[in-house]
Structure 1
Amino acid sequence: MRHIKIFTCRIKLTKFTFSIFVILPKSLMSLIRFILSRLFLKQLLLMLVLLFGLILCLLFWLDSNTRHGEQIVVPDVSGLSIDEAMTALQERKLAYAILDTSSYNPNFPYQTIIEQIPAPGSVVKQSRKIYLSINRSGYKMTTVPDLVGKTLRQAEPALRSAGFKVGKLTYKKYIAKDEVLALKFRKRTLKQGDQLPLTSIIDLELGDGSGGFSVEALDRDSPFHPSNRKRDSL
């Protein structure tokens, strides 16, 4: 009985296989008839039209968002006021953003543009955002160190550590070489206790070490001038 069941199953399997073999050609013929029918051709044509329209819309969207081929040269707005910079950028259809920084540059007026990103002359696309840095209020005032009578080797690091810059060095006839006779800022002789903004450039007046001493060569505001020494002694 077990052998008959197996044989019977095989017969059923054979019938199942044979039935599939018979059905496949009919399905294929039905598919061919459907492909050649007007209904399918109309649907296919409609799908192609929709696909073509979708591609056109996608290309239009990409062109409008990437601005392909449209280039704008970034103008130089350094030194301009905020309103002037905004006008210059808007005329070129560029966006802008003001950076929240505490930058200060003594070479630029207060509340003007001192830096921009991207840099002037860069080629960008329309609506590109330009980041602007504004010249804020000046540096805090700092007392100038008392360096009269010090050597140049002592004065230079002292000025830099205080936040100042060493400017022009001038020499006058004096017995001690490289001894500081006076400190000057914009041709004005500084006195003890004077204050200047950080990063100010301070010029130094030094002795030339010629071995002589000339009262006329000294600035009248210098503490080494005889008239000032008399006042100090009083």
Structure 2
Amino acid sequence: MNIFKFIKSTSFFKQVAIVVVVSLLLVFVLKWWLGFTTNHDQKIEVPDLNKMELTEAAKKLQEVDLTFIVIDSTRYNPEYPNKSVIEQNPEAGDFVKEKRKIYLTVNPSKYNDVVLPDLNGRTKRQAITHLLSIGFRIGESFYVRDIGKDVVRGMKYNGSNLKPGEKRPKNSVIDLVLGDGKE
């Protein structure tokens, strides 16, 4: 019975009113403070950096108070100038706040070098599949006198013989030296 008397009393209503007022006040102060510290209404449009050289992109981002980080530069694309921006995140036209980092993917100056595998003794079909899978292109086939027909007996690049383990740029044309199947 005492609980019902307390709930009907004026001191209970005063305490509830104090809790409600303090809670509302706390919510409004917190909302104002978050809006002030997070620059709530500020927007900067991200510029289009596509195909710009890295130094030019850095200047353009500095003008609008943004910074950048290069996250990747391993995929060479011959359609883009060397050391130019291939991708950016956030995209051009998006709105961000000041001092936001823009993540850039930059085009390297050339294809990466790839180690040549040891293909001696493999068939032409196996060698072609392996070379294509690691990023080379296949050129001409030269035949030498050998008992194994279409068996790899060497590789050439620009007319010079290659040894397994050497490095050549990705997308290079590799010529195969194959056996002709005659004794």
Larger radius of gyration: 1
Structure (1/2) with the larger helix percentage: 1
Question: Which structure's relative contact order is higher, taking Cα pairs within 8 Å and 6+ residues apart?
Answer: 2
TM-score (norm 1): 0.39
Structure (1/2) with the larger strand percentage: 2
TM-score (norm 2): 0.47
